């Protein structure tokens, strides 16, 4: 297993290196980074001063190696707008995003998995039909549309919950619900199909031939194998919630990274966008690595594989 | 001796989207304690479905057992298997009747140690604690020929070869020393040499524990070597039942005769393999006539009008045919 994990670790590292390279050249793809970052109307002296200050006048390879060196020292450059280090801005907003994404993921699992299990064990039943319809709804409705409906109903009409900010403990309810709906849909459908599929496996017939009760078969034979099918999707969904919550955070004015990114795009704060892109990629790579570790722990075929 | 299993008029149907599949049409057979009953027939003849139906293992829906009796009697208990509730059936399965399935790769849970898969049966039926079940499982693993059983208890199925996995399957089947073991084509997926080992092992355990074994197969060679009695199935019915030597020397049903004729011979010239002309009956139609009529060389009018029932034609020898092959004429008093 160590070899397996080591190889995954090396792969993750290479992936991050690739991301750094892509982000570096992306900014320079349009030619002169200065023209991207400085308004067109700015006088030539200002442009030159900016070029000098940011080292854009130096040879490309020198800029690149300095960029890499800085990145490995956790220096992701400075924001043009905030005039401080990107990393410190990001770290300040990070907890809000992690908080929202984690609650959303938890919500999605707690709601979706039981629905999927019930459906998988009783296909065609009334509960299954309702569950599938709910799953389809979750997977097809765009998150931002659902978010607007939530605001309309719970904030505007009923006035029960705040529609923006993170001022109260219950401020998280609406954005978390909106952010989790897509995951709920996906998890319901996946859990259901995993349970259905596993119930038809030969080893479930073996378990039945041993005279185990339905509960024992579900808990000991179906659950673990169904979890295997779910884990990869759950972690992908989590990375999506961490990095892809731009519109949800914007709609609810949630003080997280998505909101920060949206602002940075509007302000053309390229160094910050660059830093955020790196941080989001880091989430994805880390979660993928985590997925591999979890698989290695619970799937014996990987655990003992060479 | 009292029969450990007496099955009569077993009817199973599958309600599929294409229509009703008449999988079993009044299947009749019995089983004596300690004997080996070979069940032969081609795919779809109802061999497996018969055994699955008895123990509530057919998928429901679409399957339904719609008639018949199956009296189980192991000396201490007597009951009709088909009248039991799911909960009562659970006690029978694994406890009084063990199963060995065809494909030992897919029939074992890939994420559970083989030791646990054997022990959970003991813990369910014999009310053993975990450590006691472990001890007995290790003992059992040794008996089925798995070396280093203590360590192998914690191994997963993918760490074993096909033959070893089938040994594990056998250990699961006999874990609670059942009165009957149903082996559903247990050697089909294995190499010939491994096949022989598995058969030998089953027979040894059978003698040791005094179990009756139902050996479902389409390999007539295997049956000849190990069965006491043979049941030939066709189109969801039993068409002939006889002691093994009697069946091979003196087959009475045209299907059995054709089947035995289809066994390739070792001696002689290279000849084309013999096969029975035609194809098995369409089970979507109710069986109102002989299922073998369309392929039978001896067919005559009556065969299309009614279905022949199993009748005794000798000691321990039954057949379901209107035609007396020996006399070369239709039977009179059937």
Beta bridge partners of B243: B229
How large is the average pLDDT for residues A270-283? 88
In a domain, B302, yes or no: no
Inter-residue contact B164 to B90 (CB < 8 Å)? no
pLDDT at A124: 86
Q: Does B96 touch chain A (CB under 8 A)?
A: no
CA B298, chain centre distance (Å): 28
Cβ pair A206:B109 closer than 8 A: yes
Cβ pair A224:B112 closer than 8 A: yes
**Neighboring chain A residues of B156 at a CB cutoff of 8 Å:** 300-301, 304
**Neighboring chain B residues of A223 at a CB cutoff of 8 Å:** none
In a domain, B279, yes or no: no
Q: What is the Cα–Cα distance from B174 to A134, expressed in whole angstroms?
A: 45
Percent of chain A with pLDDT over 70: 98
Q: Which residue of B has its CA nearest to A212?
A: B90
The string of pLDDT tens digits covering residues A188-206 is 999 999 999 998 899 999 9
In a domain, B3, yes or no: no
pLDDT at B179: 92
Element (H, E) at B173: helix B162-174
**Neighboring chain A residues of B99 at a CB cutoff of 8 Å:** 206, 209
Whether A288 has a pLDDT exceeding 80, the answer reads: yes
Cβ pair B90:A213 closer than 8 A: yes
Inter-residue contact B47 to B41 (CB < 8 Å)? yes
Percent of chain B with pLDDT over 70: 95
- Position with higher pLDDT, A298 vs B201: B201
Cβ pair A201:B106 closer than 8 A: yes
Structural domain boundaries, residue B145: 104-177
How many domains would you assign to chain B? 1
Which one of A208, A211, A221 has the shortest CB-CB distance to B109?
A: A221
How large is the average pLDDT for residues B243-259? 90
pLDDT at A305: 56
pLDDT band, residue B193 (cuts 50/70/90): confident
Q: For chains A and B, count residue pairs whose Cβ atoms are closer than 8 Å.
A: 81
Q: How far is B20 from chain A (nearest CA, A)?
A: 20
Closest residue by Cα to residue A272 from A93, A98, A91, A87? A87
Percent of chain A with pLDDT over 90: 29
pLDDT at A306: 43
**Neighboring chain A residues of B153 at a CB cutoff of 8 Å:** none
Mean pLDDT, chain B, rounded, equals 88
Cβ pair B108:A224 closer than 8 A: no
pLDDT at B211: 93
The string of pLDDT tens digits covering residues B24-55 is 999 999 999 999 999 998 888 899 999 999 99
In a domain, B202, yes or no: no
Strand order in the sheet with B19-31: B19-31, B5-16, B63-73, B78-80
Closest residue by Cα to residue A113 from A199, A18, A26, A186? A186
Q: How far is A2 from chain B (nearest CA, A)?
A: 18
pLDDT band, residue B270 (cuts 50/70/90): low
Domain-by-domain residue ranges, chain A?
A: 13-72, 87-303
Q: What is this structure's pTM?
A: 0.79
**Neighboring chain A residues of B113 at a CB cutoff of 8 Å:** 300
How large is the average pLDDT for residues A203-232? 90
CB neighbour list of residue A201: distance below 8 Å, 6 or more residues apart = A225, B106
Whether B233 has a pLDDT exceeding 70, the answer reads: yes
**Neighboring chain A residues of B84 at a CB cutoff of 8 Å:** none
In a domain, B280, yes or no: no
| Rg for chain A, CA atoms, rounded | 24
In a domain, B110, yes or no: yes
The string of pLDDT tens digits covering residues A82-93 is 888 888 899 889
Which one of B90, B111, B159 has the shortest CB-CB distance to A211?
A: B90
In a domain, B112, yes or no: yes
Q: Which stretch of A65-79, A280-294, B73-87, B113-127 has the lowest confidence by average pLDDT?
A: A65-79
**Neighboring chain B residues of A202 at a CB cutoff of 8 Å:** 101, 103, 106-107
In a domain, B129, yes or no: yes
Backbone angles phi, psi at B97, to 5 degrees: -130, 120
B56, B105, B111: which to substitute to probe chain A, counting the most A Cβ within 10 Å? B111
The string of pLDDT tens digits covering residues B294-312 is 888 888 888 999 999 999 9
CATH architecture for segment(s) A87-303: Orthogonal Bundle (1.10)
Residue ranges of chain A whose CB lies within 8 Å of a chain B CB: 201-203, 205-213, 216, 220-221, 224-225, 228, 298-301, 304
Cβ pair B124:A201 closer than 8 A: no
Q: Does B204 touch chain A (CB under 8 A)?
A: no
Which one of B121, B156, B159 has the shortest CB-CB distance to A210?
A: B121
How large is the average pLDDT for residues A94-100? 91
pLDDT band, residue A30 (cuts 50/70/90): low
Q: How far is A192 from chain B (nearest CA, A)?
A: 18
ipTM: 0.86
Q: What is the Cα–Cα distance from A48 to A50, expressed in whole angstroms?
A: 5
How large is the average pLDDT for residues A107-113? 94
Q: Does B240 touch chain A (CB under 8 A)?
A: no
**Neighboring chain B residues of A206 at a CB cutoff of 8 Å:** 99, 101, 107-109, 117, 169, 172
**Neighboring chain A residues of B55 at a CB cutoff of 8 Å:** 209
Cβ pair A225:B111 closer than 8 A: yes
Query: Of A140-144, A187-191, A278-282, B144-148, which one has max mean pLDDT?
Result: A187-191
Task: Estimate the share of chain B in helix, then strand, then coil, as percent rounded to the nearest 5.
Answer: 35, 25, 40
Whether A10 has a pLDDT exceeding 70, the answer reads: yes
B61, B106, B110, B162: which to substitute to probe chain A, counting the most A Cβ within 10 Å? B110
| DSSP annotation string for B12-76 | EEEEETTEEEEEEEEEEEEE-TT-EEEEE--TTSSHHHHHHHHTT-S-TTTEEEEEEEEEEE-SS
Cβ pair B99:A300 closer than 8 A: no
**Neighboring chain B residues of A203 at a CB cutoff of 8 Å:** 106-110
CA atoms within 13 Å, Cβ hemisphere of A84? 7
**Neighboring chain A residues of B101 at a CB cutoff of 8 Å:** 202, 205-206, 209
Q: Which stretch of A30-44, A126-140, B5-19 has the lowest confidence by average pLDDT?
A: A30-44
Closest residue by Cα to residue B265 from B220, B234, B223, B217? B220
């Amino acid at each position: 297993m160590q070899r397996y994990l080591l190889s995954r670790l090396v792969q993750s590292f290479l992936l991050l290196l690739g991301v750094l390279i892509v982000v570096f050249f992306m900014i320079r793809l349009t030619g002169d980074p200065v023209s991207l970052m400085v308004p067109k109307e700015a006088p030539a002296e200002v442009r030159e001063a900016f070029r000098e200050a940011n080292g854009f006048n130096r040879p490309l390879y020198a800029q690149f190696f300095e960029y890499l060196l800085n990145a490995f020292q956790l220096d992701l450059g400075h924001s043009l707008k905030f005039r401080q280090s990107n990393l410190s801005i990001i770290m300040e907003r990070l907890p809000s995003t992690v908080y929202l994404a984690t609650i959303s993921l938890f919500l999605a699992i707690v709601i979706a998995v039981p629905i999927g299990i019930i459906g998988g064990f009783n296909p065609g039943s009334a509960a299954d039909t309702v569950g599938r319809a709910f799953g389809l709804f979750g997977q097809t409705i765009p998150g931002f549309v659902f978010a607007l409906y939530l605001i309309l109903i719970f904030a505007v009409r009923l006035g029960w919950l705040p529609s923006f900010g993170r001022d109260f403990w219950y401020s998280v309810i609406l954005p978390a619900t909106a952010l989790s709906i897509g995951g709920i849909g996906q998890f319901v459908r996946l859990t259901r199909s995993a349970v259905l599929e596993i119930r038809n496996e030969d080893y479930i017939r073996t378990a039945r031939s041993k005279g185990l009760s339905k509960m024992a078969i579900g808990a000991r034979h179906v659950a673990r194998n169904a979890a295997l099918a779910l884990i990869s999707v759950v972690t992908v969904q989590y990375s999506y919630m961490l990095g892809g919550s731009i519109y949800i955070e914007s709609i609810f004015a949630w003080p997280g990274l998505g909101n920060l990114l949206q602002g940075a795009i509007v302000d053309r704060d390229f160094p910050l966008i660059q830093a955020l892109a790196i941080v989001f990629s880091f989430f994805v790579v880390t979660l993928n690595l985590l997925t591999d570790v979890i698989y290695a722990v619970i799937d014996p075929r990987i655990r003992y594989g060479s | 001796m009292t029969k450990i299993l007496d099955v009569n008029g077993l009817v199973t149907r599958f309600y599929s989207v294409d229509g009703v599949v008449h999988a079993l049409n009044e299947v009749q057979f019995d089983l004596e304690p300690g004997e080996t009953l070979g069940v032969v027939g081609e795919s779809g003849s109802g061999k497996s479905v018969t055994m699955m139906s008895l123990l509530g293992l057919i998928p429901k829906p679409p399957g339904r057992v719609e008639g018949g009796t199956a009296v189980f009697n192991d000396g201490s208990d007597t009951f009709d298997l088909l009248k039991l509730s799911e909960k009562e059936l659970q006690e029978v399965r694994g406890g009084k009747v063990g199963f060995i399935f065809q494909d030992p790769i897919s029939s074992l849970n890939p994420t559970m140690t083989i030791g646990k898969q054997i022990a959970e049966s003991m813990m369910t039926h014999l009310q053993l604690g975990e450590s006691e079940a472990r001890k007995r499982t290790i003992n059992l693993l040794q008996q089925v020929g798995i070396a280093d059983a203590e360590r192998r208890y914690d191994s997963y199925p993918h760490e074993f070869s096909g033959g070893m996995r089938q040994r594990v399957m056998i250990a699961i089947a006999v874990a609670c020393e059942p009165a009957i073991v149903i082996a559903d084509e247990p050697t089909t997926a294995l190499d010939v040499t491994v096949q022989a080992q598995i058969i030998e092992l089953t027979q040894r355990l059978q003698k040791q524990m005094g179990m009756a074994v139902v050996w479902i197969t389409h390999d007539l060679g295997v049956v000849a070597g190990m069965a006491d009695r043979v049941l030939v199935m066709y189109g969801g019915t039993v068409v002939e039942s006889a002691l093994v030597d009697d069946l091979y020397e003196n087959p009475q049903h045209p299907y059995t005769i054709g089947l035995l004729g289809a066994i390739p011979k070792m001696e002689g010239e290279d000849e084309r393999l013999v096969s029975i002309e035609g194809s098995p009956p369409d089970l979507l139609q109710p069986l109102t006539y002989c299922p073998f009529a369309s392929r039978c060389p001896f067919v005559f009018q009556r065969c299309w009008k009614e279905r022949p029932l199993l009748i005794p034609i000798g000691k321990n020898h039954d057949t379901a045919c209107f035609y007396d092959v020996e006399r070369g004429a239709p039977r009179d008093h059937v």
